[in-house]
Structure 1
Amino acid sequence: MNHLIKLGAAIAVPCALFCAAIGVAEAAPETSSETRPIDARVVRVKLEGVGDLRIRQGATPALVLTGDARLLSRTTTSQKGDTLNIETEGRNAGFSFGRSSGLQAELVLPNLQAVSSESVGSTVVSGFAGETLNINLDGAGSMYVSSSEYRTIKASLGGVGNLKIQGVNSEHVDLSLGGAGYVTLSGRSKNLRAELGGLGGLDAQACTVEAVTLDLSGLGNATVNAQRSANLALSGMGSVTVFGKPANRKVALDGLGKVNWK
């Protein structure tokens, strides 16, 4: 019994010391904030690296970065004309074991025309309206766009990212999806044109559209809501589900995919 007690003590002490060391090593550093200079010319935003970005509409442009000092020192922001670039240097610059903390960027702009993200974090866009909005999402990040009152919305999704666009009130929505990403749409539009490749999927059941044109290749599935017409081309193994009972239907099948009318 004494041997067991001694053995237990011998194991417990190093474990306690190890856990204490880990706790010190992984203790959350104090966060600080920095205000970076921008002006009202900015209507295009590009994010690279690791971090979360929040963009909202406001009369006075402003950019505030929040994170630990090490992370902030590795984050560069630069404005070239109407384009703002936010980049975190180093592949693991924003990685924190056991925590979701990283770079948080809060951006206020009067107008917005384009957002491009190659980050592994999340991007949230809210409150904007205008003529055209271009969205580009690559990598493993996610993007959520609300109050999307633009005449034309053009969205491109690559990699394994997720894109969610809510409050659509548009005349034209153009989607290009590659890789294993997923797109969700809600709202209304006169026209929806979507090209879906790879493993990517589309859920647009909650987006009421007059005319849908969809080209589906690869293994992805799509759900749309077409009120007047649906022009579908399927190649590969993907399937399409169409709600809305459109009177005009055109389907071209080349592969194992199928169309379900609801």
Structure 2
Amino acid sequence: MNLSQIESPLTTYNLLITRNKQIIMKTKIIVFFTVMAAVMCLSTACAQSRITSKNFPVRAFLAIESNSVGNLHIRQGSDTQVRAEGDDEMIKKLDIRVEQGTLVIDMEKTIVKKWKRNTKLDIYITTPSLSKLEQDGVGNVVFTGTVNVPKLEISSDGVGNISSDELICDDLIIESDGVGNIQLAGKTQILSVYSDGVGNVNTENLIAAKAKIISNGVGNVRCYATEEVDISAGGVGNVTYFGNPASKYIRKGGIGKVKAGD
């Protein structure tokens, strides 16, 4: 037998690793599209539901933690306000409170499990400042208008998309471990992206001076940096950087590609 036809143990190991990653990728993609189809229906009101609204009196806060079902609309304003609109039964089950400077949005677990995909619930939040958003629930998050803060951390462990009109900050940290896309616009001095979830992180329209990207997930990552990019790609998704930065530090160990955008 020709020795060149015999696969070395290392070659076999690499093939198994590659195949396992491809299987994981296909499984996560199926979960992503299945769950996202349900999340999109949050914006459609159920004809049989009784639609109402309720204001929740809360004191000032600097962080938001959501563990409920519903879409969040976050805007920056001089006052602190929280208002919910949607299905009357769901609003009755909402538990909204401030704990140690964090606005906590909870809902009874039985309601979350029985949630119908055509049931509407939107929560409108106004705050003078914000340092952290932690989305562990089900629903989309939208930053409306201009949000200008020194530092902002966005953590996504739930199901749903996160988007913004214009974020302005010195330091922006994005942790994507959930199911859904993150698409942000604006500008920052330092951008840090940690992508381990299912879904894309697109900050092409968010201009950063320096960007650090650690991609170990399934989705693609896009960023814009004018001075420096530091990219570590160990996942399935691709990483594309824009802005033609002078300094580039790139390490690649996964299936995905790392490339400069047009």
**1:38 maps to which residue?**
58
- State the Cα deviation string for residues 39-76 of structure 1 (Å, max 9, x = none): 2x311011112110001011111110112221112111
Gaps of 5+ in 2: 1-45
SS at match of 1:28: coil
- State the Cα deviation string for residues 98-144 of structure 1 (Å, max 9, x = none): x3x33210111111111110122100113211210010011221111
User: When the two structures are aligned, how many residues end up with a matched partner?
Assistant: 213
Alignment of 1:48 with 2:67, yes or no, is yes
Q: CA deviation at 1:217?
A: 0.3
Q: CA deviation at 1:88?
A: 2.1
Tell me the amino acid that sits aligned with residue 209 of structure 1: T
**Alignment partner of 2:131 out of 110, 113, 119:** 113
Larger relative contact order (Cα-Cα within 8 Å, sequence gap ≥ 6): 2
Deviating 4+ runs (over 2 angstroms): 90-97
Matches of 1:158 and 1:121, distance apart in 2: 15
Higher strand share: 1
Q: Give the conservation status (yes or no) of the 8 Å contact 1:180–1:201.
A: no
Greater Rg over alpha carbons, structure: 1
Matches of 2:197 and 2:127, distance apart in 1: 31
Give the structure-2-normalised TM-score.
0.76
Q: Give the conservation status (yes or no) of the 8 Å contact 1:154–1:173.
A: yes
Question: Given the superposition, is the C-alpha separation of residues 235 and 102 from structure 1 closer, same or farther in structure 2, using an over 3 Å criterion?
Answer: same
**1:148 maps to which residue?**
167
Q: CA deviation at 1:27?
A: 4.3
Q: Percent identity?
A: 22
SS at match of 1:72: helix
SS at match of 1:70: helix
Alignment of 1:102 with 2:120, yes or no, is yes
Give the structure-1-normalised TM-score.
0.76
- State the Cα deviation string for residues 175-213 of structure 1 (Å, max 9, x = none): 100022210111311100010003131022xx2431000
Matches of 1:233 and 1:91, distance apart in 2: 45
Matches of 1:91 and 1:196, distance apart in 2: 35
**2:241 maps to which residue?**
224
**2:213 maps to which residue?**
194
Cα RMSD (Å): 1.7
Alignment of 1:82 with 2:104, yes or no, is no
**Alignment partner of 1:124 out of 135, 142, 162:** 142
Q: CA deviation at 1:82?
A: 1.5
Q: Give the conservation status (yes or no) of the 8 Å contact 2:133–2:154.
A: yes
Higher helix share: 2
Q: Give the conservation status (yes or no) of the 8 Å contact 2:58–2:80.
A: yes
